[in-house]
């Protein structure tokens, strides 16, 4: 996993701004969902164009966090990027920001009929876990997915963000979720990027103004029994 620790200056600014270094350290699992972003073969398995090698290293952390949250009464949602309607849904990305070769390969390997769309097989996906398909980097931007409606209907107001890439789909989803009024934490050792620097930039940018950053161990330690959170 990426080496990462919140620097002292970031903690100091957070303390001054919010009154606490970690504002979401205590978590009511009944109102919490672990949202796992893009842990698909296209981004995780070797040989695909979108491969993030470090994503394979975070699989055990994601599985451990998912099991802990389920056991405490929370929920898990697996989010998958689809490029089945890419040219209609997002022509700026596919028509302008990718070369023709790369856009064609991305569209092929993230088509819902392709093996690249599937979740990486070493992930422990529960029978009752949610599954959501998105069309943009952010799952929460207008028109990308139905995740907000599904979470609201389930009474969820707190999100834990894991997956890949830290500084792209994870960060953009986390920022947009906060701006839709969810309490959001990015789980530092359950996210992966193309480099340590990109990972750190994504987490620090989010932590500065949008939400919290915790480790898997810190999240699990903060899970509170439902009886202890009544009236909180």
- pLDDT one-digit tens code per residue, 40-91: 999 999 999 999 999 999 999 999 999 999 999 999 999 999 999 999 999 9
Residue 3 lies in a domain: no
Residue 86 lies in a domain: yes
Residue 20 lies in a domain: yes
Distance CA 72, CA 197 (A): 33
pLDDT digits (tens, 9 = 90+) for 187-198: 999 999 999 999
Give the structural domain span for 12: 8-229
Distance CA 38, CA 44 (A): 9
Pairing relationship of beta strands 130-134 and 212-214 according to DSSP bridges? unpaired
Residue 12 lies in a domain: yes
Q: What pTM, to 2 d.p., does this model score?
A: 0.95
pLDDT digits (tens, 9 = 90+) for 118-150: 999 999 999 999 999 999 999 999 999 999 999
Alpha-carbon distances of 66 from 40, 74, 138, 220, 230, rounded to whole Å: 16, 9, 21, 10, 23
Best CA proximity match to 219, nearest among 77, 78, 11, 69: 69
CATH number for 222: 3.40.50.850
Overall number of domains in the chain? 1
Residue 125 lies in a domain: yes
Residue 115 lies in a domain: yes
Those residues with Cβ within 8 angstroms of residue 75's Cβ, 6 or more apart along the chain or in another chain? 32, 33, 34, 69, 129, 130, 154, 156
Distance CA 212, CA 230 (A): 22
pLDDT (0 to 100) of residue 17: 95
Residue 2 lies in a domain: no
56 or 226: which carries more pLDDT confidence?
56
pLDDT tier at 227, thresholds 50, 70, 90: very low
């Amino acid at each position: 996993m990426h080496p990462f620790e919140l620097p002292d200056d970031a903690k100091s600014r957070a303390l001054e701004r919010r009154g606490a270094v970690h504002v979401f350290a205590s978590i009511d699992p009944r109102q919490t969902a672990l949202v796992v972003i893009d842990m698909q073969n296209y981004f995780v398995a070797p040989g695909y164009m979108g491969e993030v090698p470090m994503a394979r290293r975070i699989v055990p952390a994601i599985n451990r966090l998912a099991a802990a949250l389920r056991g405490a009464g929370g929920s898990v949602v697996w989010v998958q990027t689809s490029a089945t309607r890419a040219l209609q849904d997002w022509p700026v990305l596919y028509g302008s920001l990718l070369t023709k070769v790369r856009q064609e390969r991305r569209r092929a390997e993230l088509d819902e009929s392709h093996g690249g769309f599937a979740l990486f097989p070493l992930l422990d996906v529960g029978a009752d876990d949610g599954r959501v398909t998105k069309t943009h980097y952010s799952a929460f931007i207008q028109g990308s997915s139905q995740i907000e409606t599904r979470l609201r209907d389930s009474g969820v107001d707190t999100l834990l963000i894991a997956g890949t890439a830290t500084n792209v789909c994870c960060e953009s989803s986390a920022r947009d979720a906060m701006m839709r009024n969810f309490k959001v934490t990015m789980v530092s050792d359950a996210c992966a990027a193309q480099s340590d620097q990109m990972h750190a930039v994504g987490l620090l940018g989010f932590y500065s103004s949008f939400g919290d950053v915790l480790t898997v161990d810190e999240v699990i330690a903060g899970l509170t029994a439902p009886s202890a959170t009544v009236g909180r």
